[in-house]
Amino acid sequence: MSSALTHILSNECPICHKGKVFTDKNIFLTFGLPKMNEYCSHCNYKFQKEPGYFFGAMYVNYGLTVAQGIATYCIAQFFFEKISI
């Protein structure tokens, strides 16, 4: 009996558990990012990030950037004089 964590750590395909996800045999002892196979060698499953994978990070990043801008504006009010034209 094997768990999902065992399959992840042993670099096995999430569908058939027989093919390899990465080309390197040991993904923990490589320099840089490991190379990923495009398709599973056993079941021909296409390995790719699902559409919208980064959308959540974009929303969080936008909120943090707006909050940082507002905080910077509020703090800068104490150090700069208003210019009246």
**Which residues of the chain form contacts with Zn ion (CB under 5 A)?**
13, 15-16, 19, 40, 42-43, 45
Measured from the CB atom, is 8 or 70 closer to Zn ion? 8
Taking the least distance from each CB to Zn ion, the nearer of 43 and 67 is: 43
Provide the minimum distance between the beta carbon of 30 and Zn ion in the complex, in angstroms, as a whole number. Answer: 22
Q: Which is nearer to Zn ion, 16 or 67 (CB)?
A: 16
CA dihedral 10, 14, 50, 48 (to 10 degrees): 60
Minimum CB separation from Zn ion for residue 60, in Å?
Answer: 32
Please check whether residue 38 is in contact with residue 47, taking contact to mean a CB–CB distance below 8 angstroms. Answer: yes
Q: Shortest distance, CB of residue 42 to Zn ion, whole angstroms?
A: 5
By the 8 A CB rule, do 24 and 31 touch?
no
Q: Say how far apart CA 70 and CA 76 lie, in whole Å.
A: 10
